[in-house]
Amino acid sequence: MTILPAYHVIINNQEFIENLKKAEEITETESNLVIIGIENSKPETCYGYINYG
């Protein structure tokens, strides 16, 4: 399953598609959740945070 929330700007479509394919490969062979994102450049508390578990 893929969840793609609204309001994302994807500049490099090919790179995004490649990352989706990699995520699919990981979830097919392992029981993991894959989150695709970017590193933040500054704190933005209105977006919240996801920390490594």
pLDDT in tens, 2-43: 888 777 788 889 999 999 999 999 999 888 888 887 777 777
pTM: 0.63
Residue 45 clears pLDDT 70, i.e. is over it: no
Question: Residue 21 domain-assigned?
Answer: yes
**52 or 15: which carries more pLDDT confidence?**
15
Q: Three-class SS of residue 16?
A: helix
Question: Residue 18 domain-assigned?
Answer: yes
Question: Residue 22 domain-assigned?
Answer: yes
Question: Residue 2 domain-assigned?
Answer: no
**What pLDDT score does 38 carry?**
75
Question: Residue 5 domain-assigned?
Answer: no
Q: Do the beta carbons of residue 32 and residue 26 sit within 8 Å?
A: yes
**What pLDDT score does 49 carry?**
65
Range of the domain at 24: 11-53
> Could you tell me which of 39, 37, 41, 40 has the C-alpha nearest to residue 4?
37
